[in-house]
């Protein structure tokens, strides 16, 4: 009798696991369907940014630059862009609603539209990695380098200066120095590698870009 209960319990656990995996996969597929941008196939480019930074309408500016970067990245899924009213310097992608969020602090920290485009391009890079993720694509840290590498090529495709990425990373290194961070060269255990290491990698990625002029 006890054996039977135990068997049933194990079966239940296994089935629950399967159901969870199936539901999770289905919801991921539905996300793709929802965010698929059919009109992209009609090759209608989005509005071209004005290359003016900063702008009065921050929300609109981020959206226009973001959509232009998605176009340059060949992204065929709809991505939303949102500005968070927060003074901290942060940008991230929310995979729950395919939204790239940037704080007002980060927007204001950008010295040019090229730098804004670089921030958004890095996040679009994360999405591209996630979409293309079938063969195990490395650690979280590796993905950061990969996102920077993708960002460099997207910036170049979009007509922005791909060096904007490294310029920004350099400034952030200086911020870390300024607040007396003794660990700025070798941050362990964080999700992002140190800015200075990303900067070196970003410079290498820019060197490897096909020369356009
Ligand atoms: Zn990242």
| Cα 13 to averaged position of ligand 1 atoms, centre (Å) | 35
Give residue 134's pLDDT.
54
| Cα 91 to averaged position of ligand 1 atoms, centre (Å) | 8
pLDDT-derived band at 129, boundaries 50, 70, 90: very high
| Cα 88 to averaged position of ligand 1 atoms, centre (Å) | 16
- Phi then psi for 182, rounded to 5 degrees? -80, -5
| Cα 126 to averaged position of ligand 1 atoms, centre (Å) | 7
Domains with residue ranges and CATH for the chain: 38-207 (3.30.2010.10)
| Cα 143 to averaged position of ligand 1 atoms, centre (Å) | 7
Give residue 96's pLDDT.
87
pLDDT digits (tens, 9 = 90+) for 140-179: 888 999 999 999 999 999 999 999 999 999 999 888 888 8
pTM of the model: 0.84
Position with higher pLDDT, 189 vs 163: 163
Give residue 32's pLDDT.
83
Give residue 127's pLDDT.
93
Q: 81, 66 in Cβ contact below 8 A?
A: yes
Distance CA 165, CA 169 (A): 6
Q: Near ion ligand 1, which residues have CB within 5 Å?
A: 144
| Cα 139 to averaged position of ligand 1 atoms, centre (Å) | 12
User: What is the DSSP annotation of 22-88?
Assistant: HHHHHHHHHHHHHHB-GGGGGT---PPP---SS-S-HHHHHHHHHHHHHHHTT--B--EEEEE--SS
| Cα 107 to averaged position of ligand 1 atoms, centre (Å) | 16
| Cα 151 to averaged position of ligand 1 atoms, centre (Å) | 10
| Cα 191 to averaged position of ligand 1 atoms, centre (Å) | 8
Query: Which of 95-99, 176-180, 205-209 comes out lowest in average pLDDT?
Result: 176-180
| Cα 53 to averaged position of ligand 1 atoms, centre (Å) | 23
Give residue 40's pLDDT.
53
Reported as half-sphere exposure (CB side, CA atoms, 13 A), residue 48 has a value of 5
């Amino acid at each position: 009798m006890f054996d039977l209960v135990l068997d049933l319990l194990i079966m239940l656990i296994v089935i629950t696991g399967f159901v969870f995996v199936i539901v999770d996969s289905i919801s991921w597929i539905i996300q793709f369907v929802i965010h698929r941008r059919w009109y992209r196939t009609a090759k209608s480019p989005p509005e071209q940014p004005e290359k003016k930074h900063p702008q009065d309408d921050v929300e609109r500016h981020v959206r226009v630059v973001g959509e232009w970067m998605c176009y340059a990245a060949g992204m065929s899924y709809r991505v939303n862009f949102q500005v968070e009213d927060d003074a901290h310097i942060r940008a991230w992608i929310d995979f729950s609603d395919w939204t790239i969020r940037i704080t007002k602090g980060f927007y204001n920290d950008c010295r040019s539209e090229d730098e804004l485009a670089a921030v958004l391009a890095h996040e679009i890079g994360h999405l591209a990695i996630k979409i293309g993720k079938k063969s195990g694509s490395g650690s979280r840290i590796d993905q950061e380098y990969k996102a920077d590498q993708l960002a460099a090529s997207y910036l170049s495709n979009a007509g922005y200066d791909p060096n904007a990425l490294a310029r920004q990373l350099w400034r952030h290194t200086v911020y870390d120095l300024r607040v007396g961070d003794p660990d700025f060269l070798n941050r362990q255990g964080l999700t992002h590698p140190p800015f200075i290491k990303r900067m070196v990698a970003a410079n290498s990625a820019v060197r490897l870009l096909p020369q356009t002029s």
